[in-house]
Structure 1
Amino acid sequence: MWVTDVAATMALLLSSSRAHALPSLAPTGPFFQELGNNTWVIGNEIWNMTQGRQYGVKLYYKDHDCVGDAVGHYVSYNGAQSDLNWTSASIHNGGTYQGATYLDVKFASREGDMHWVIFSGLAGAYQYFVNRDLPTLGEFRTLWRLDNTTFTHGKTDLRDEALPPLSEYLPENKVQDETWLRTDGSGGYITKYDLSSWVRTQSYYGVYSDRFGSWYINAGKDYYNGNHLKQELMIHRESKTGDAVQLNMIHGTHFQVSAVDEFPEGKMWGPWLWYLNDGSREDAAQRAQDECAAWPYAWFEDEAYHQRGSVGGQLMLPDGRPATHAAVFLGDNSQSKTALDMGSDYYYTGYADAEGRFEFRDVRAAAYGLQAWSNGSELADVTTEFLQQDVVVVAGETTELGTMTWRVSNKTKIFQVGDFDRTSYGFAYGGAPYEHGLVEKCPADLKFTVGTSKTEDWCFGQSKQGSWVISFSLNKLGAPIPKRAQKEEATLIVSLAGYSTGVSSHIWANDVVIGNLTSGAAPGLLNDPSLYRSGTTAGEWRYFEFPFDAGTVLRKGVNEIRFEVTSNTTWRGFMWDSVVLEW
């Protein structure tokens, strides 16, 4: 359906360099039409949308308004607190690529410019945003809120299911932020966070039905904040109106302590593809494959975007082992933030191969900091990180870093519970599909015996008041037996895959308190929402070392490390990665 109030006003549009003639009825290619009063229409022969000062509405595709009574398309930061207002719109650029004409339409706001690159014959458009004056922020997003009868299902890389009916969202059943007890008596929950996923590995996601599909395909991911373990909310039902929500969290914080960044002028997010079809997931998957093969996009007219090079090298451990399958990250050329918290510029993630070699291709020319850490498996015992600053990527060139030595601990390891990989994989329920309140299935008291118990006997999260005990025997493990007459420093390493505030724990070695894990107290734990937002794999990684005198605390024979939770809050607590004792 063509928007009827536009048909009478179709006329000759002028850009800075060319005239674009639009037909008076259905267009035959990409177009931009200004109606006045901060209202514009964009689209092509397949779809069109009416854009107001704030919201994009009247999305017509296959003779159907896909927005209906929903809010439509908009851009906002810091949640829904600040929606961008478009003060002007114009044709930024245009041309022909591989026989298809396109227009780059720019909507300008005080904070920056939102672009829609519309090709003839394309159901949808490429989008990108260029920063002009965004404030220091945590969340920045573009999104669609679409008609809930047209789009009935949601799909991420991890889940594919019907969106819950609005009738399930009963006020008396609300238990916390966007989470409700189900009405079927099952004891389960409805929460928008179940349709979250990992941003660096997602191929395509969106909302669909048996007639319509609206998808985001982010082929290039270097504009995202965070590292391999960056996860974000992608799909949900808007609980107040029932809108089907398709989120494009291009800078997000949903599972982090904080990700507050300042952005340089000109920082660009995108381009990504917003894609329409008949609801076919197979078609969307094929389109995603094609987009990934075409990235970086040759048609995109931006000089800095195409200034790219490559960088590679090999990581080896001092004992001669290659850093097999290590997680490798190219980020800020400083250590002021963790890899997950970085987000001002551009970031690249990958994994080393079996020989410890890695390569990043199509990297924007700049100076970076290179980090690497254990991804489990052959490196499950490596508790240290690798770091090298001042890695310079030059446009059109390959930077070869050669063989680099990754320093590791030279202390004697007494025991280790869980692979060192910054996740809860391997533990009971660790890595399960997103599910609210799953940590409630973990026990209040747990006994793990080194040498007898299996990794899966340790649960992924500790939330209830009680004690989790690691029992180990020094004389059975071939470990050094401490001498009571001399001081010998031991170190308990605690690696958390995530932590949600409200739970405090004392750490005991036999009968001596050697540390604590408490909100706000040393070593200081800040909240990440992973455990109470359906996370089961990771939130914000934390690493702690608790030194103590083995000579006076430990003994020959059976010893215990005990994590005693003294106060708790439901659905909150510790998500485990690994516990290591060494001296």
Structure 2
Amino acid sequence: MFHGIAAFMLLIAGIVLCSLPPVPLKAAGEPFLKLVDDKTFVIGNDFWNLTTGESFGTKLWYKGYDLVGNASGHYVSYNGAANNLSWTLTPPKIHRKSGIYTDIVFSAKEGDVHFVLTPTLTGAYQYFVNRALPKLGEFRTLWRLDNATFTHGFTNSNDLPLPPLSDFRASTTIQDETWQRKDGTFITKYDLSTFMPSVEGDLAFWGIYGKLPNGEGVGSWYIHGGKDYLNGDHLKQELMVHRESITGDAVLLNMIHGTHFQASSGDDFAEGKVWGPWLWLLNDGSPTDAAAKAKSENADWPYKWHIDQSGYDMRSFLSGRVVLSDGRPAAGAAIFLGDRDSKLSTLDQGKGYYYRTYATPDGKFTLENVREGNYTLSAWPNGGPIGDVTTVATKDVNVSLFDYDIGDVKWETQNRKKIWQIGSIDRKATGFQYAGPPHEHARAEKCPKNLTFTIGTNTEKDWCFSQWSRGIWSIFFTLPPTTFVNNTSSNAAVLSISLAGYSSGIQSTVRVNGVLTVPAFGGASVKGDPGLYRSATTAGEWRLFEFLVAGGGRTGSVLREGENRIDFVVVGEPKKWSGFMWDSVLLEWA
């Protein structure tokens, strides 16, 4: 089916486009752009309006109240707060009108930010077109709003009051944006982080809400109908909302290229790359209403009214089936369409466009609305029936404007015989003690310094999600005589250590029956991710270590008939709130 061209022809037949110059305030009902002076501009409609200077939107009027107050307002920046975009390239103007949609563009040397308004929408669609962004890690739009009005934060894993500014003032700073109260509990902006909903169809929305001075509810939300412009894979996490610790501003973040939980993410972008459109929405403070709006935005994506600089985005469907080399279907596998020939992990990729889904129980997958281009398809276990596979399947794919099926993708497994396994490989600490949402600072401290686990007796719930302090974690297991073949050196095994995250500052040796089999893993040779010390409790960035454990037979070998023991021995003085976040420990015959 010539899916993209058909959509294009329908668009041309149904929509007439025209470019308009800047205009003064229009009659009631129409979106407007008003140029107050060379450095002050007002946009809005009958329901809201924003007064903005060269960088900051400082007045947001809604239902008769200014929602910014003494806060910083709206701005766009990259590499944290180091670089704020300034609208000095040209004055803002109406870029185009399309039916009920009015597209207003603000131009900076780095690129163009568009606000797309309708007569009745309480908010605006926004998108950014790159012109000359430098290589960067973080790129964001955000609102800093009145701290008395916006008192709560909402993500897909948390709905919490934002801590009052007085809490910060009465607490002790212990690390980056983290404080300890006198009662021993913590305040950290990272607790309202969560996984960025990045699979097509996920309801991607988050916001801050509270009450206006007249008692009416009010909420400010970001909603993403599309996800292909967001960096990273299925396990991308981001900081969404928080209380600003110095001023008390309620902060609503939109990290359209974020790095808060990744080991490495710095990308160059092609001129013309588009992020968005996403929706910024004002409502009565109801998360239920925001969720309903997110559902409708998903259904409408890609937006027919959106025309980027190269014309209507023509998209395709890509489908196929992933089959393991041992004949099993890749049931539930994570499927990722990303950069061709990238040396970065799938989590760290960010220069292009990305498509994510999960395979069905029979290994089939479909990726919708894919842009034309050259990609690499990757698949990895998401637990379940294939949670013992340590390898990753890859296949280069060229996507044209035609919808097509790439057929079977063969996935070569490690082809080894399992002896035992603790935890299923899914790049998450899921199933282990204390793992799982919501984010919470210092939860790893609940895990013991020393732990004993016996194969066949204990369950994965007895294995804690994080090893963070100096100590020994021991695994006991029995090998019957029948596991050894001909009493020869061919009885070597492979120990696979799959980590859901690793925050540098900790190092471990591995001893098998008292023999130092692995001198050390972790440490300076492995680039850490900030997951664990930024309140992550499920994942940071995945890593796999595989080590050969010598065999030899019933006597004189490292592995032996009868009782065996593997010790993970943390050495040195680990950095506080750093450590390993476990995914799986797997022992197999080589």
- Per the shorter chain, which TM-score range? over 0.9
Indicate the residue corresponding to 1:65 in structure 2. 66
Question: What CA distance in whole angstroms lies between the structure 2 residues aligned with 1:202 and 1:252?
Answer: 19
Contact 2:432/2:465 (8 A) holds in 1: yes
Indicate the residue corresponding to 1:480 in structure 2. 484
Alignment counterpart, residue 563 of structure 2, candidates 558, 561, 569 = 558
Contact 1:234/1:246 (8 A) holds in 2: yes
Indicate the residue corresponding to 1:143 in structure 2. 142
1:43 aligns with 2:73: no
1:216 aligns with 2:222: yes
Letter in 2 for 1:153: H
Contact 2:171/2:181 (8 A) holds in 1: no
Correspondences of 1:197-212 after superposition (within 5 Å):
197-199=194-196, 200=198, 201-210=202-211, 211-212=217-218
Q: Deviations over 1:185-242 (max 9, x none)?
A: 2x22111001111112452110011421100001101011100000100000000000
Indicate the residue corresponding to 2:514 in structure 1. 511
Contact 1:204/1:216 (8 A) holds in 2: yes
RMSD: 1.8
Indicate the residue corresponding to 1:442 in structure 2. 447
SS of 1:149 mapped into structure 2: coil
The Cα shift of 1:307 comes to 1.7
Question: What CA distance in whole angstroms lies between the structure 2 residues aligned with 1:84 and 1:438?
Answer: 38
1:405 aligns with 2:402: no
Question: What CA distance in whole angstroms lies between the structure 2 residues aligned with 1:231 and 1:131?
Answer: 23
Letter in 2 for 1:492: L
Contact 2:504/2:523 (8 A) holds in 1: no
Correspondences of 1:411-560 after superposition (within 5 Å):
411-475=416-480, 479-480=483-484, 483=487, 486=489, 488-521=491-524, 524-551=525-552, 552-560=557-565
SS of 2:102 mapped into structure 1: strand
Contact 1:163/1:236 (8 A) holds in 2: yes
The Cα shift of 1:92 comes to 4.6
Question: What CA distance in whole angstroms lies between the structure 2 residues aligned with 1:374 and 1:238?
Answer: 38
Correspondences of 1:13-52 after superposition (within 5 Å):
17-18=19-20, 22-23=24-25, 27-52=28-53
The Cα shift of 1:492 comes to 1.1
Contact 1:156/1:202 (8 A) holds in 2: no
Letter in 2 for 1:337: L
Question: What CA distance in whole angstroms lies between the structure 2 residues aligned with 1:17 and 1:398?
Answer: 33
SS of 2:533 mapped into structure 1: helix
Structure-1-length-normalised TM-score: 0.92
Indicate the residue corresponding to 2:181 in structure 1. 182
Contact 1:474/1:481 (8 A) holds in 2: no
Question: What CA distance in whole angstroms lies between the structure 2 residues aligned with 1:459 and 1:322?
Answer: 30
The Cα shift of 1:410 comes to 1.6
1:354 aligns with 2:358: no
Q: Deviations over 1:241-270 (max 9, x none)?
A: 000000000111111111111111111110
SS of 1:212 mapped into structure 2: strand
Q: Deviations over 1:441-464 (max 9, x none)?
A: 000111111111101110000011
Change (3 A) 1:116 1:506: same
Letter in 1 for 2:276: G
Correspondences of 1:291-440 after superposition (within 5 Å):
291-302=297-308, 303=310, 306-389=313-396, 391-395=397-401, 397-440=402-445
Contact 2:207/2:219 (8 A) holds in 1: yes
Indicate the residue corresponding to 1:12 in structure 2. none
Contact 2:51/2:58 (8 A) holds in 1: yes
Question: What CA distance in whole angstroms lies between the structure 1 residues aligned with 2:19 and 2:577?
Answer: 59
The Cα shift of 1:488 comes to 4.1
The Cα shift of 1:482 comes to 7.9
Question: What CA distance in whole angstroms lies between the structure 2 residues aligned with 1:452 and 1:370?
Answer: 39
Q: Deviations over 1:500-555 (max 9, x none)?
A: 1111111111122222555555xx21121111111010001001111232223111
Question: What CA distance in whole angstroms lies between the structure 1 residues aligned with 2:91 and 2:23?
Answer: 17
Question: What CA distance in whole angstroms lies between the structure 1 residues aligned with 2:486 and 2:256?
Answer: 52
Question: What CA distance in whole angstroms lies between the structure 1 residues aligned with 2:168 and 2:463?
Answer: 35
Change (3 A) 1:180 1:574: same
Contact 2:436/2:538 (8 A) holds in 1: yes
SS of 2:426 mapped into structure 1: coil
Matched length? 557
SS of 1:321 mapped into structure 2: coil
Indicate the residue corresponding to 1:10 in structure 2. none
Structure 1 range deviating more: 290-299 or 561-570: 561-570
Indicate the residue corresponding to 1:95 in structure 2. 97
SS of 1:283 mapped into structure 2: helix
Correspondences of 1:65-84 after superposition (within 5 Å):
65-84=66-85
The Cα shift of 1:23 comes to 4.8
Change (3 A) 1:540 1:194: same
Structure 2: gaps of 5 or more residues: 1-16, 212-216
Change (3 A) 1:520 1:304: farther
Change (3 A) 1:517 1:437: farther
Contact 2:504/2:578 (8 A) holds in 1: yes
The Cα shift of 1:61 comes to 0.7
Runs of 4+ in 1 over 4 A off after TM superposition: 19-24, 516-521
Question: What CA distance in whole angstroms lies between the structure 1 residues aligned with 2:523 and 2:94?
Answer: 50
Contact 2:203/2:295 (8 A) holds in 1: no
Structure-2-length-normalised TM-score: 0.91
Q: Deviations over 1:399-431 (max 9, x none)?
A: 211122211122222111110110000110111
Q: Deviations over 1:282-328 (max 9, x none)?
A: 22111111111100000112245512111110111233321111110
The Cα shift of 1:340 comes to 0.4
Question: What CA distance in whole angstroms lies between the structure 2 residues aligned with 1:39 and 1:191?
Answer: 35
Sequence identity percentage: 51
Question: What CA distance in whole angstroms lies between the structure 2 residues aligned with 1:508 and 1:75?
Answer: 51
Q: Deviations over 1:27-71 (max 9, x none)?
A: 421111112232211111111111111101110011110001000
Change (3 A) 1:111 1:487: same
Contact 2:114/2:127 (8 A) holds in 1: yes
Change (3 A) 1:526 1:408: same
Contact 1:138/1:260 (8 A) holds in 2: yes
Letter in 2 for 1:257: A
Indicate the residue corresponding to 2:119 in structure 1. 120
1:242 aligns with 2:242: no
Question: What CA distance in whole angstroms lies between the structure 2 residues aligned with 1:62 and 1:109?
Answer: 31
Question: What CA distance in whole angstroms lies between the structure 2 residues aligned with 1:57 and 1:27?
Answer: 23
